[in-house]
Amino acid sequence: MAAHRCGLFLVIILIFSSLAHPSSCDTLEKADGNVGEKQGVSDAHREVNADGSVTGEDLNERQWQSTDVELDRSDGTEDSEPFRPAPAKDEFQEELVIRPLHSGDIYASFQFRTLWDTDFLQEGQKVSHYRLFPKSLGQVLSKFSVRELHISFTQGFWRTMQWGQPFIPSPPGAELWVWFHHTVSDVDGNWKELTNVLSGIFCASLNFIDLTNTVQPSASFKPLGLGNATDHRFLRYATLPREIVCTENLTPWKKLLPCGSKAGLAVLMKSEKLFHSSFHSQAVHIRPVCQDDQCTNKAWELRQTLNVVFDLYTSGQGKREWSLFKMFSRTLTEACPLASSSKVYVDITDNPEGELFELSPATSLLSQAVVLGDRRTYSVYDLTRAETFGQLRSLNLLLRWKGESGDMLRPLLHAERYVAGFGLQTGEIHTVIYNNHPYRAFPVLLMDSVPWYLQLYIHTLTVTSKSRDNKPSYIHYQPAKDRHRPHLLEMLIQLPPHSMTEVTVQFERALLKWTEYTPDPNHGFYVGSSVVSALVPSMVAMNTNFTKDQPLFSSFVPVKEESSYFVRVYTEPLLVNLPTPDFSMPYNVICLTCTVVAVGYGSFYNLLTRTFQVDEPSPPLAKRLANLVRRIRGVPLLT
């Protein structure tokens, strides 16, 4: 404990000194790190890092007051510690990030994290006492021995070129990928049951996931949590690009939150507003994580995210301003009482001088985070503090644009896809991947899962960058089995700097049985998005240190190295038309075909069983009758 105090004391001194000499904060930050390491006290170390990341290099006029707040908060939790009935095994955090996009849209990203240091997979020990963690999911985890579960429901398509990278990407429709524990023997059986159970939990058509749309990617979907399992036999990945997301999926999702939609940030989730948006994505991610730097304690993390993009520019009659009330038709009045932290972040990176827009109520708290290879500045509203709500007892963030925003930096990695060709016989899938980095080449993993009724011809696969052949260094291809398994194509492609790489592969469209078509067959069949996963070279050094208090949006994907960050880009799903039979004709076709076969059979039968004979024409009927009568009468017959 003395060491803790000592560390804390040091931190305070260092922070005060950094406030006094803001220009020297870089060196101090390093010094902090050193001190922290020397002390070897993880707790203090974390605080230092959090503050270190908060204090950036360009401190001009603003006062950085986050330090006090952080300290206040940490003091507060320490104070409240003795009042808790038991050592807190679980913890809940909520967070809303609002980022004004260059296109004039507003990106709102909710994240709710529940951490619980229990083990669902421990044998012989049934977890039965649930507090913050939803029991329905916990039971599913232990019943099906799930190591990691990621499920997302998305309506709309994330436009990377206009909106930049999302915090957590997701493809249109439903996506589900699960790592099972390595003790599971019947993975396919578990997967089938799990999808049906999840289908019930989320009121979604996940029960349509079967072997025909499930793949086992070999490299694209590594576990995001603890443990580097590499045996992809325990991984199952499926998408339902046709799935439509609506209120009935949101309600069960909200019910998983400890406060429901009664308090905290979740009060903003009114479905009529959330679904009146350009993009809506809700997800649940469950994974085991480390609780601290040394990973002595493991915990299960449930992360519920909801990302919405509102198009307020067109609906606001050309006036560029938004507020929480305008977006959600609600304002914030309190934090969720069960949450240990509840914050609203507004991205003000593009507005360092306040000349671009005006944010009210103004907040004195600023925070910096390195996220997606970029250092961003956020205004922070801490809902656990009463001052945040002001005298009205409600927080209605209002942002009013003053000028036109500049052009957005093009995202470093971007991909799109389309079907080329005409007619219903063959076609070609084009996937175009852009590397917009001016001078760095980097490899990407491209994963395609194509349904069996589009027969891919892998020998027609071409990868061209800068009009030159670019041979993938790794190809994993699993051809489809009719009505059993989709195609899976995974490739590692090196993208040259500032280039466009085009991947094409030809396919043939199959004619299906008439019962295999969807109710509107001429609408076409959906092919799920391609997944491009890459470690993109970062402009700024990524924060590889594990810190517990870093904002949720920057801590989802574990950062392994400073120079690059992980990005996953989903392309558009494809809509492909197949040739259709005439659905009104089954009887006719059966009759006509059988007739032709019968004509063949009949004529052969005739020739085989009969012999040639001289035709003796039989006498006409009248004559025969007359003869019959004559025979009875005993008179000579007519000839």
Partner 1 sequence: MAAPLTLLIIVAVTIRAVLFRSSLAELISERVEVVSPLNAWKRVVEGLALLDLGVSPYSGDVFHETPLVIYLFHFVVDYAEVVFMIADGITAVALYLSIQTYNKNVFRKQKYALESDRYPADCLELLRSPKEMFYIPLKVAMFYLLNPFTILSCVAKSTCGLNNAIIALFILCTLKGSALLSGIFLALATYQSIYPLTLFAPALLFLLQRLYIPVNLRRSSFWFFTLQYVFIYVGSLVVITGLSFFLLGSWDFIPSVYGFIFSVPDLTPNIGLFWYFFAEMFEHFRLFFICVFQINVFFYTIPLSIKLKEHPVFLIFMQIAIISIFKSYPTVGDVALYMAFLPAWSHLYRFLRNIFLVSCVLLACSALFPVLWHLWIYAGSANSNFYYAITLLFNFGQILLVSDYFYAYLRREHHLTHGLYLKKEDGSEATLVLK
Q: Extract the tokens encoding 467.
A: 């009009």
State in angstroms the smallest separation of the CB of 581 from partner 1: 5
Residue 525 sits in the site that holds partner 1 (CB under 8 A): no
CA distances from 335 to 79, 160, 262, 395 (A): 19, 32, 10, 11
Q: Which stretch binds partner 1 (CB under 8 A): 31-39, 192-200, 259-267, 472-480?
A: 472-480
Contact stretch for partner 1 (CB under 8 A) within 23-31, 107-115, 442-450, 510-518: 510-518
Interface with partner 1 includes 425 (CB under 8 A)? yes
Shortest distance, CB of residue 475 to partner 1, whole angstroms? 6
- As a whole number of angstroms, the distance between CA 57 and CA 22 comes to 8
Question: Please, what sign has the CA dihedral across residues 207, 208, 211, 216?
Answer: negative
Binding partner 1 (rule: CB under 8 A), the pick from 60, 294, 611, 618 is 611
Binding segment (CB under 8 A) for partner 1, from list 60-68, 368-376, 410-418, 590-598: 590-598
The answer to the question of residue 459 lying near partner 1 (CB under 8 A) is: yes
Strand partners, 549: none
Q: Does 420 bind partner 1 (CB under 8 A)?
A: no
Provide the minimum distance between the beta carbon of 27 and partner 1 in the complex, in angstroms, as a whole number.
54
Q: Closest approach of Cβ 451 to partner 1, in Å? A: 12
Candidate ranges 93-101, 174-182, 203-211, 608-616; the one touching partner 1 (CB under 8 A): 608-616
CB 249 within 8 A of CB 153: yes
Region from 256-264, 529-537, 567-575, 595-603 binding partner 1, contact rule CB under 8 A: 595-603
Q: Which stretch binds partner 1 (CB under 8 A): 210-218, 268-276, 512-520, 528-536?
A: 512-520
Q: Please name the amino acid found at residue 602.
A: G
Helix (H, G, I), strand (E, B) or coil at 531: strand
- With binding defined as CB under 8 A, does residue 510 bind partner 1? yes
Cis peptide before 361 (omega within 30 of 0): yes
Question: Does the protein bind partner 1 through residue 423 (CB under 8 A)?
Answer: yes
- What whole-number distance in Å separates Cα of residue 26 and Cα of residue 20? 13
Strands, E assignment, 75-163: 90-100, 106-116, 146-155
Stated as kind and residue range, the H or E segment containing 427 is strand 426-435
DSSP label of 519: S
Is 183 one of the binding residues for partner 1 (CB under 8 A)? no
Told to check if 612 binds partner 1 by CB under 8 A, we report yes
Among 161, 409, 511, 629, binds partner 1 (CB under 8 A): 511
Contact 547, 525 (CB under 8 A): no
The token pair that represents 89 in the structure block: 């095994």
- At 532 the three-state DSSP class reads strand
585 binds partner 1 (CB under 8 A): yes
User: Given candidates 12, 540, 597, 628, which one binds partner 1 under the rule CB under 8 A?
Assistant: 597
- Does the footprint of partner 1 cover residue 362 (CB under 8 A)? no
Which of these segments, 232-240, 506-514, 548-556, 558-566, binds partner 1 (CB under 8 A)?
A: 506-514
Q: Is 338 helix (H, G, I), strand (E, B) or coil?
A: coil
- Asked if 596 touches partner 1 (CB under 8 A), the answer is yes
What would the two tokens of residue 193 be? Answer: 């049951």
Q: How many residues bind partner 1 (CB under 8 A)?
A: 55
For residue 615, CA distances in Å to 252, 396, 607, 612, 618 come to: 85, 105, 16, 9, 9
Closest distance to partner 1 from the beta carbon of 613 (Å): 4
Query: Is 606 a residue that touches partner 1 (CB under 8 A)?
Result: yes
Residue 587 CB contacts under 8 Å (≥ 6 apart), including other chains? none
> Binding partner 1 by CB under 8 A: which of 479, 497, 524, 537?
479
Sign of the CA dihedral running 136, 137, 140, 145:
negative
CA gap 69, 486 in Å, rounded: 53
What pairing do the DSSP bridges indicate for beta strands 426-435 and 499-509? antiparallel
Q: How far apart are CA 52 and CA 547, in angstroms?
A: 11
Using CB under 8 A as the binding rule, whether residue 589 contacts partner 1 is answered as yes
Tell me, what DSSP letter sits at residue 543? -
Nearer Cβ to partner 1, position 614 or 621?
Answer: 614
Residue with tokens 């977890």: 127
Query: What's the start-to-end Cα distance of the chain, in Å?
Result: 135
Which residue among 616, 621, 622, 636 contacts partner 1 (CB under 8 A)?
A: 616
The only residue of 362, 615, 622, 633 in contact with partner 1, by rule CB under 8 A: 615
**Residues 541-580, mask of contacts with partner 1 (x by CB under 8 A):** --------------------------------------xx
Applying CB under 8 A, the residues found at the interface with partner 1 are 422-426, 452, 455-459, 475, 477-483, 487, 508, 510-515, 579-582, 585-586, 589-590, 592-593, 596-597, 599-601, 603-604, 606-616
